[in-house]
Structure 1
Amino acid sequence: MAKREKITGLIKAALGPGFALMTLLAIAGYAVVGPTGVLAWGEYQAKLETRGIELARLEAERDALGNRVRLLDPRGADPDLISELMRKKLNVVHPDEIIVPLK
């Protein structure tokens, strides 16, 4: 009986530290292999590069649209742009004009 109580006591004594060790190993494994872990770093770098390229493209598009808005300001619109838009949208062409489409 004393031997059985000794084994039970050892199991009870090892249960707390064993659970703590398993918890720490799980946290360490998640830090290395998890979705935001060390192994996901390369994927984040690739996403950062592609998003940087996309950001540059969107900023250039935003700047072009901002310039177009500035040219269409009602207080002082650019006559060439107004004429171009009017001809394109309303299909207004003089009989002596030749239209050369640029693609």
Structure 2
Amino acid sequence: MTRQSHKISLPKEKWTHGLALALLLLIGGLAIAGPSGLLAWSENLQLLEQRQSHIAKLQQEHAALENQVALLNPENADADMVGERLRRDFNVVHEDELVLILDEE
């Protein structure tokens, strides 16, 4: 006579296994389709490239503004730049001058 031991499955144990499986499936789903998952990776790279190009554009604008500030420095102002700003901002012109406004774009 051989004795066979049968493991009796308890309802509590089934719930535990089911909950663990559901949790693992949820973690796996988030790793693939979550906000920082594999599917969002290419979108994040595209956003990074867009933002880097925007930063480069802003740095160019910053350099141009820095140059203008240096030319308008009260201690060593560029006469042409000061005259240009006066004419453009305050509409200061002599009677014999002709002003042509060119589109900067």
| TM-score category of the 2 structures, normalised to the smaller one | 0.7 to 0.9
Q: TM-score, normalised by structure 1?
A: 0.81
Where does the alignment leave 5 or more consecutive residues of structure 1 unmatched? Answer: 1-5
| Separation in structure 1 between the aligned mates of residue 39 and residue 82 of structure 2, nearest angstrom | 55
TM-score by length of 2: 0.80
- In structure 1, how many angstroms separate the alpha carbons of the residues matched to 2:91 and 2:19? 78
% identical equivalent positions: 43
Shift of 1:9: 4.0
Equivalent-residue separation in structure 1 for 2:98 and 2:73 (angstroms): 29
Residues paired across the two proteins, number = 98
Following TM superposition, by how much is the alpha carbon of 1:59 offset from its aligned partner in structure 2, in angstroms? Answer: 0.9
3-state SS in 2 of match to 1:49: helix
Q: For structure 2, list consecutive stretches of 5 or more residues without a partner in the other structure.
A: 1-5
User: What's the secondary structure of 1:64's corresponding residue?
Assistant: helix
CA distance in structure 1 between the aligned counterparts of 2:70 and 2:56, rounded to whole angstroms: 21
Q: CA deviation at 1:80?
A: 0.9
Q: CA deviation at 1:102?
A: 1.3
